[in-house]
Chain A
């Protein structure tokens, strides 16, 4: 035990605690300001779930006041969170003394430790996505509208599709993508994290003819600023200009975009591959079939009274086949996931369900309760003798 305490002493410093708190306060301040120009989830990933973050100095001063170039490197939320957790656990291990009058303090810190653990669980294990289903359709995958992927589908098998997925992090770097899973090389000419599609007559000359192959070659994509945290619920719509090569042979330049709802054909050695840029998908062992979507209005107005989705849930792995009505504040819970009525397609043509899986969703409630209990005990134990002395 003494050995463990000796080992932990370096990270149990109270000065370290103060430094971590000070750094955390600054990080939260900078992260809040950054949301003026970046989306909330971009900031969460860049600032609070990263090891290190590059903070642009411009976020501290509005652009119309002054232009401030440059950035500073700063420890990210993950670094500070882990440091805080280690520091707290180490401090308790080194200085742990189980005494009656310390129960409140111990409980309070236990609650804080649990809160930090809860954020790690949420950060690493929580999944959130959308299921978009048109009336009459059956869907068995969830889309993550915060990240995209290139999918390469080989349909040579008569029953199943072989799907190769290239995550966004490989596309956004603009580097050459090659892998033994597909027989060609992809060069990303231009990556647009958010974009707008223009028709043949709308595109400026500088954007015409970048793509020479594929079904979207007549269209043009224009980069747009990323959706930020102050403009409402706009979603980034990524696009990319890519060129395919088979060895030294150029197969063509394509415009891939989440706007283009039809896969594009790339042929190599007589085999056709269907390529598309889409929001990242996760396939599920269950499916939802949308029987009916209802968008009720208050009589005589255009004000929404209710949105509801009548769906058939089929999960052969759990022997489930039942009809469920999902509506506001009445989500469907299945297989550890919760399905909320989130949005709908224009013209009421279909529904959008938000699918949330967070194994740590109870931890914040539990930790806050423990902290509250600890503080009540701690201050109560001090309050009672104090009032006794006064009387």
Chain B
């Protein structure tokens, strides 16, 4: 009982104990906070900025090491902006700028129209887009050539699967830009993610070999003639020629199907591109992205926009040396209403599961 009298709650001793304990705690923590300070460090000419990108950062920060090879006749100029990855001067004096931005930077149409605007040419719509684009065989490289009144612009939009969109662009007098078009296309075809087989890193990017995977076997073209969409869908009028198929659902969703050679840049980079479009953080690996396994390496994802009423369901289906990308976009409710039919469509015989008859 004596102990209780000494240390009872509310007693003077107890209060004194609490005050003493508090003083000790404050004393221990008081000296821990870091202040503004300075130090000297030996200058590292080029390693520091690159090393400052830990792999745990979201994808655009820990961007894969993309390398390329410039034609021998091009001379590299000093680059002053971090947005520019490199600047070259071709043999005829024409300047070429290389830039990269996270995600798809607003999409193909927005980028093409931005470039058209830069040389004083009116914007086009989705339907007119296909006519202005040239695709480099076997690679995810799109060439845009716009000859305006003031200048001509030839640019390439390159997707190497690192979660960024790369651009190589030449703007100037029509004849000068036209002279280097073939060189620019060849240059754009050399962009790829560095791997060990390249035997180098950032310092030797100019001399690194540029293996362009040969496409020996042209994949068989997939016909959509046998596809039977659900009765609730109607074929979209004036859909872009880039799309294999496009439908509009009664619920207000839009269904599109595209096909790319090979793995189309890979599931991860495409999912990250879509995540970027929806304002979602990028993921490092598919382990971080919930998906439904459709079998035969096909997968299905359902993404809801971080802000606003947007949602995208997508199926990535490897088929006959190509990859089909099925996309259902719209409001959260519109996509939700169509989800079951959409998945069934992907899994339908002759559509996503086997080659068309």
Contacts and interface: CB of A to CB of B under 8 A. Distances in A.
B98 interface: no
A260 interface: yes
Interface stretch (A34-42, A198-206, A368-376): A198-206
Interface in A109-139: 120, 124, 130, 132-139
B32 A124 contact: yes
B201 A132 contact: no
Interface string B28-54: 110011111111111100010111111
Contacts of B50: 134, 137, 261
Contacts of A202: 102-103, 105-106, 276-277
A132 B7 contact: no
Contacts of B9: 15-16, 19
Query: Of A12, A134, A166, A349, which is in contact with the most chain B CB atoms at under 10 Å from its CB?
Result: A349
B132 interface: no
Interface string A50-93: 01000000000000000000000000001100110011000000
Contact of B279 (A78, A196, A278, A343): A196
B60 A352 contact: no
A159 to B, nearest CB: 7
Contacts of B203: 136
Interface in A193-246: 196-202, 215-216, 218-219, 222, 224, 232-235, 237
Nearest to B10: A15
Contacts of B196: 348
A181 B38 contact: yes
A15 B14 contact: yes
A10 B38 contact: no
Contacts of A344: 55
B225 interface: no
Contacts of B194: 347, 349
A344 B53 CA distance: 11
Contact of B64 (A82, A170, A278, A346): A346
A272 B202 CA distance: 26
Contacts of A165: 36-39
A137 B201 CA distance: 9
A142 B67 CA distance: 27
B160 to A, nearest CB: 10
Given A9-B7, A51-B26, A145 B56 contact: yes
B52 A278 contact: yes
A143 B54 contact: yes
B293 to A, nearest CB: 14
Interface string B50-89: 1111111111111111000000000000000111000000
A235 B56 contact: yes
A163 B38 contact: yes
Given A237-B58, A347-B195, A215 B22 contact: no
Interface string A340-384: 000111111110100000000000000000000000000000000
B114 interface: yes
B25 A82 contact: yes
Contacts of A155: 43
Interface string A280-307: 0001000000000000000000000000
Interface in B274-310: 276-277, 279, 281, 284, 287-288, 306
B56 A352 contact: yes
Given A201-B114, A224-B281, A258 B57 contact: yes
B22 to A, nearest CB: 7
Query: Of B32, B53, B288, which is in contact with the most chain A CB atoms at under 10 Å from its CB?
Result: B53
A10 B60 contact: no
A169 interface: yes
Contacts of B128: none
A248 interface: no
Contacts of A222: 279
Query: Of B111, B114, B281, B306, which is in contact with the most chain A CB atoms at under 10 Å from its CB?
Result: B281
Contacts of B162: 346-347
Query: Of B28, B193, B200, B203, which is in contact with the most chain A CB atoms at under 10 Å from its CB?
Result: B28
A239 to B, nearest CB: 11
B105 A349 contact: no
A220 B343 CA distance: 35
Interface in A1-32: 9-16, 19
22 contacts: A78-B28, A79-B25, A86-B24, A87-B17, A135-B201, A136-B201, A139-B51, A145-B54, A157-B40, A160-B42, A162-B39, A165-B37, A177-B36, A199-B103, A215-B82, A219-B83, A234-B56, A235-B54, A347-B194, A349-B201, A350-B65, A352-B55
Interface of A: 9-16, 19, 51, 78-79, 82-83, 86-87, 120, 124, 130, 132-139, 141, 143, 145, 155, 157, 159-167, 169-170, 177, 179, 181, 196-202, 215-216, 218-219, 222, 224, 232-235, 237, 258-263, 276, 278-279, 283, 343-350, 352
Interface of B: 3-4, 6-9, 12-14, 16-18, 20-22, 24-26, 28-29, 32-43, 47, 49-65, 81-83, 101-103, 105-107, 110-111, 114, 162, 165, 193-196, 200-203, 276-277, 279, 281, 284, 287-288, 306
A-B interface, 6 closest residue pairs, ranked by CB to CB distance from nearest? A13-B7, A201-B106, A10-B13, A347-B64, A11-B17, A199-B101
Given A9-B7, A163-B41, A261-B53, 15 more contacts: A10-B12, A13-B8, A19-B9, A82-B21, A86-B24, A132-B52, A161-B40, A165-B36, A165-B37, A201-B105, A215-B82, A219-B101, A237-B58, A345-B53, A349-B64
